[in-house]
C-alpha cells in the first residue's frame, strides 16, 4: 500500500499539481472580465512555486490495520483475498458533537429508504446525524450548478471529477473553506486516517493555491473492456490480441436470431486499443495535437463505425443515449462492454446470488497491432468533498473528524461499519470471514458515507470467489503499460465560451460512429472543430502546459 501511495510522487507529479495554479492563471485574462475578489482567484494569479505546493499538502503518514495478501505490483493496488478476522477500533473518541450534519452526494443506484437502521448505526458511532441529500447521478451536475449559483450549499458537498461545474474556479473561493491551515504539513496528524491518503490525491484538491477538499483516492485505471468470461469459455472463444482479433470475435458473437450481440458502445476502449493519445499530446515537432487530429483516432473511428454499421452493437445501445449496457451485459444480450473498475464488483453483487456461474473479466492487455499497449492512468482522486465556507473553526474540525472516520481503512471496525453495517444485522461473515450483506443490508446500505471519504484504493470483496485474484492479476499485468496524460494532475479550467466544443465535437463523432454521416467526413468535422474554437483551445492549452513546464 505504501509503495502504491508514494511511488508516484515525484518532482513531475508535484509540478503537475503545481500546474493547477498555473493553468488557471492562464485562463485568467479570459475570465477576468467576470470574476471578482469574492468569487475566487481566477484572475491575476501567479505561478505557484514548488516550495509553496510542498508546504501546502498534508504530510503522508501511512497506517495499516491489516496486511494485504497480495502486494501491489509496479504501482498497482494491493489485494485482500480474505477479510481480516480481528478488527480494531481505530477511532476511539466520538467525532461529532451531537448535532445534524448536512451532506450532498450522488447516487448511481436506487436510493435507500430514509428510515434506515444502517444510517442510525453509523450516526450513533459518528455522534452526529448526517442528513444526506442524495441526488441521482445523471442529474448531479445540473443540481450542483444550480445550488452553487444560488449559494445554497450543504455543509459537506461531494463533487465528482466528471461533474466539476464550469467556472468552478470562480466559485470555490467563496463557497468552500480553505482547508490548508487545517491539514497542511503535520497539521493533518490530528486526522490520522486522512493523513493515510496518498499525497498525489491531495494535490488534486488544490484550487486557487489552497487545499479546498478532501479527496477520495482513485484506482489506477479509469476503464476496462469487460467480457463475459463464462460465456466465452462455453463458446470456446479466446481474448483478442489485436484489432483484427476483436473484430473477428464480434462477428462470431453477434447472432440476432439468438438475441445476442457482441458489444455496447466500446469506443473509449477502441481508442485505447489504437493507442490514441489522451486529449492533448505533443507531436515529434513539439506541437500540441488534439487526440481527434491523430491518425490513430481516425483508425479508431473507422473501427467502431464498422461495428455499428455491421450490427455488432446491441440495437438498444444504438437506439438510446444511455444504453442500459450493464443490464444487457449481465443478461448475456451483449458480451463485451466498457465501464469503470467498480462496475465489476457491482455486477457480481447483483448477479452471483441468482447466477453463480456469472463471471466477467477485463480482457488482458492488448493493442490493435500487437505492439506494446497503452493504458492511460486516471486522475489520482475521482471525488472531492468540500466543506462550506461560512462555518466556524470548531465546526470545520468536527466535519474533518467525521471524514477521518469514514476514511478508516480495512481492518478497522469503522471500515466494516461503513461498508457492511452491523454484523449479524446488515451482514453476515462466511466461513472464511468474508462479509456478505443480508437482505436488510442490501436494502439499506448504498454508498453514502463512503462517498464522503474513503481510504486508499485496494482490491477487496473476497466474498466473490476469484474476484480479488482476477482483479489484482489484471492490474499487475496492465501496470507496466500505464501512461500519464499530458495534462495529468493539471487543474485546467477552459474558457466558458469554449467549453461547448467538446460536446459539439462528440455530437458530430457520434454521427460518424453511428453511420449518420460517412466516416470519410472526419477531416471536415475536425476542420470545423478547429474553426469553431479548436485552434483557440490549442493555444490556451499550449500556454497552460508551457506554464506548467510540460
Partner 1 sequence: MTLHAAEPAAGASTQAGPREPVPPSRAALRRADRRRRFRRDWPLLLMVAPTILVLGAFHYLPLLGNVIAFQDYSPFVGILESPFVGFANFERLFGDPDFWRATANTLGITAFQLVFFFPVPIVLALLINSLLSARLKLFIQSVVYLPHFFSWVLVITLFQQMLGGAGVVNNFLRRNDLGVIDLMTNPDTFILLVTAEGIWKDAGWGMIIFLAALSTVNADLYEAAAVDGANRWRRLWHVTLPALVPVIVLLLIMRLGDALSVGFEQFLLQRGAVGVNASEVLDTYVYYEGVVNGDFAYAGAAGLFKGVVGLLLVLGANKAAHLLGQQGVYSRS
Task: State how far the Cα of 379 lies from the Cα of 204, in Å rounded to an integer.
Answer: 8
Measured from the CB of residue 492, what is the shortest distance to partner 1 in angstroms?
Answer: 14
Selection from 182, 179, 215 nearest residue 200 by Cα: 215
In the sheet with 224-228, reading across from the earlier edge strand, the strands are 261-263, 334-339, 224-228, 360-362
Using the rule CB under 8 A, is 34 a contact of partner 1? yes
Site residue total, partner 1 (CB under 8 A)? 46
Stretch that binds partner 1, among 33-41, 179-187, 355-363, 436-444 (CB under 8 A): 33-41
Question: For the packed helices 522-529 and 500-513, what is the interaxial angle rounded to 10 degrees?
Answer: 170
Stretch that binds partner 1, among 31-39, 269-277, 347-355, 518-526 (CB under 8 A): 31-39
Using the rule CB under 8 A, is 392 a contact of partner 1? no
Using the rule CB under 8 A, is 152 a contact of partner 1? no
Among 320, 331, 357, 371, binds partner 1 (CB under 8 A): 320
Using the rule CB under 8 A, is 314 a contact of partner 1? yes
Among 25, 87, 167, 196, binds partner 1 (CB under 8 A): 167
3-state secondary structure at position 157? strand
CB 234 within 8 A of CB 73: no
Measured from the CB of residue 187, what is the shortest distance to partner 1 in angstroms?
Answer: 28
The three-state DSSP-derived secondary structure of 160-224 is EHHHCCCCHHHHHHHHECCCHHHHCEHHHHHCHHHHCCCHHHHHCCEECCEECEEEEECCCCCCE
CB 101 within 8 A of CB 131: yes
Distance of CA 222 to the CA centre of its chain: 6
Using the rule CB under 8 A, is 339 a contact of partner 1? no
- Which residues from 66-85 bind partner 1, rule CB under 8 A? none
Using the rule CB under 8 A, is 504 a contact of partner 1? yes
Among 514, 519, 543, 549, binds partner 1 (CB under 8 A): 514
Measured from the CB of residue 70, what is the shortest distance to partner 1 in angstroms?
Answer: 40
Among 7, 111, 149, 235, binds partner 1 (CB under 8 A): 149
What is the C-alpha end-to-end distance of the chain, expressed in Å?
29
CB 359 within 8 A of CB 230: yes
Comparing CB distances to partner 1, the nearer of 319 and 364 is: 319
Task: State how far the Cα of 112 lies from the Cα of 122, in Å rounded to an integer.
Answer: 14
Stretch that binds partner 1, among 37-45, 180-188, 212-220, 350-358 (CB under 8 A): 37-45
Residues that bind partner 1 (CB under 8 A): 33-36, 38-40, 141-142, 145-146, 148-149, 165-167, 170-171, 174-175, 256-257, 259, 261, 311, 314-316, 318-323, 333, 496-497, 499-500, 503-504, 507, 510-511, 514, 516
Amino acid at each position: 500500500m505504501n509503495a502504491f501511495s508514494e511511488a508516484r510522487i515525484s518532482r513531475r507529479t508535484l509540478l503537475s499539481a503545481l500546474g493547477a495554479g498555473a493553468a488557471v492563471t492562464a485562463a485568467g485574462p479570459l475570465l477576468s472580465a467576470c470574476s471578482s475578489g469574492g468569487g475566487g482567484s481566477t484572475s491575476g494569479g501567479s505561478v505557484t512555486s514548488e516550495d509553496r505546493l510542498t508546504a501546502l499538502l498534508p504530510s503522508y503518514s501511512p497506517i495499516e490495520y491489516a496486511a494485504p495478501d497480495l502486494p501491489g505490483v509496479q504501482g498497482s493496488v494491493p489485494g485482500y483475498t480474505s477479510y481480516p478476522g480481528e478488527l480494531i477500533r481505530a477511532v476511539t473518541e466520538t467525532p461529532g458533537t451531537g448535532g445534524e450534519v448536512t451532506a450532498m452526494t450522488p447516487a448511481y443506484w436506487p436510493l435507500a429508504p430514509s428510515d434506515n437502521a444502517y444510517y442510525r448505526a453509523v450516526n450513533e458511532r459518528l455522534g452526529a446525524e448526517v442528513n444526506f441529500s442524495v441526488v441521482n447521478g445523471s442529474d448531479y451536475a445540473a443540481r450542483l450548478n444550480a445550488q452553487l449559483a444560488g449559494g445554497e450549499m450543504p455543509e459537506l458537498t461531494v463533487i465528482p471529477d466528471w461533474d466539476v461545474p464550469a467556472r468552478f474556479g470562480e466559485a470555490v473561493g467563496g463557497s468552500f473553506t480553505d482547508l490548508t491551515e487545517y491539514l497542511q504539513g503535520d497539521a493533518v496528524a490530528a486526522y490520522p486516517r486522512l493523513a493515510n491518503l496518498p499525497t498525489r490525491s491531495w494535490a488534486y484538491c488544490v484550487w486557487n493555491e489552497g487545499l479546498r477538499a478532501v479527496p477520495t483516492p482513485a484506482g489506477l485505471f479509469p476503464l476496462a473492456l469487460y467480457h463475459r468470461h463464462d460465456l466465452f469459455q462455453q463458446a470456446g472463444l479466446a481474448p483478442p490480441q489485436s484489432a483484427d482479433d476483436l473484430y473477428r470475435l464480434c462477428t462470431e458473437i453477434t447472432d440476432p436470431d439468438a438475441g445476442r450481440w457482441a458489444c455496447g458502445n466500446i469506443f473509449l476502449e477502441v481508442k485505447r486499443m489504437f493507442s490514441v493519445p489522451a486529449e492533448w499530446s505533443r507531436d515529434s515537432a513539439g506541437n500540441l495535437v488534439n487526440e481527434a487530429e491523430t491518425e490513430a483516432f481516425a483508425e479508431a473511428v473507422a473501427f467502431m463505425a464498422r461495428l455499428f454499421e455491421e450490427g455488432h452493437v446491441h440495437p438498444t445501445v444504438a437506439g438510446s443515449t444511455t444504453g442500459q449496457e450493464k443490464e444487457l451485459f449481465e443478461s448475456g444480450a451483449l458480451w463485451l462492454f466498457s465501464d469503470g473498475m467498480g462496475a465489476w464488483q457491482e455486477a457480481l453483487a447483483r448477479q452471483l446470488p441468482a447466477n453463480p456461474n456469472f463471471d466477467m473479466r477485463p480482457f488482458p492487455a492488448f493493442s490493435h497491432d500487437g505492439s506494446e499497449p497503452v493504458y492511460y492512468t486516471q486522475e489520482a482522486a475521482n471525488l472531492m468533498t468540500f466543506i462550506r465556507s461560512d462555518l466556524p473553526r470548531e465546526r470545520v474540525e468536527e466535519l474533518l473528524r467525521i471524514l477521518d472516520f469514514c476514511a478508516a481503512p480495512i481492518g478497522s471496525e469503522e471500515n466494516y461499519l461503513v461498508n457492511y453495517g452491523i454484523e449479524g444485522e446488515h451482514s453476515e461473515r462466511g466461513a472464511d470471514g468474508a462479509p456478505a450483506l443480508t437482505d436488510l443490508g442490501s436494502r439499506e446500505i448504498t454508498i453514502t458515507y463512503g462517498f464522503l471519504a474513503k481510504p486508499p484504493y485496494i482490491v477487496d470483496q473476497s466474498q466473490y470467489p476469484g474476484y480479488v485474484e482476477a482483479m489484482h492479476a489484471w492490474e499487475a499485468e496492465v501496470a507496466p503499460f500505464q501512461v500519464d496524460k499530458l495534462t495529468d494532475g493539471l487543474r485546467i479550467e477552459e474558457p466558458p465560451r469554449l467549453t461547448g466544443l467538446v460536446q459539439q465535437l462528440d455530437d458530430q463523432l457520434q454521427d460518424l460512429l453511428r453511420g449518420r454521416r460517412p466516416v470519410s467526413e472526419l477531416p471536415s468535422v475536425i476542420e470545423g472543430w478547429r474553426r469553431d474554437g479548436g485552434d483557440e483551445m490549442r493555444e490556451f492549452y499550449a500556454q497552460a502546459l508551457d506554464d506548467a513546464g510540460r
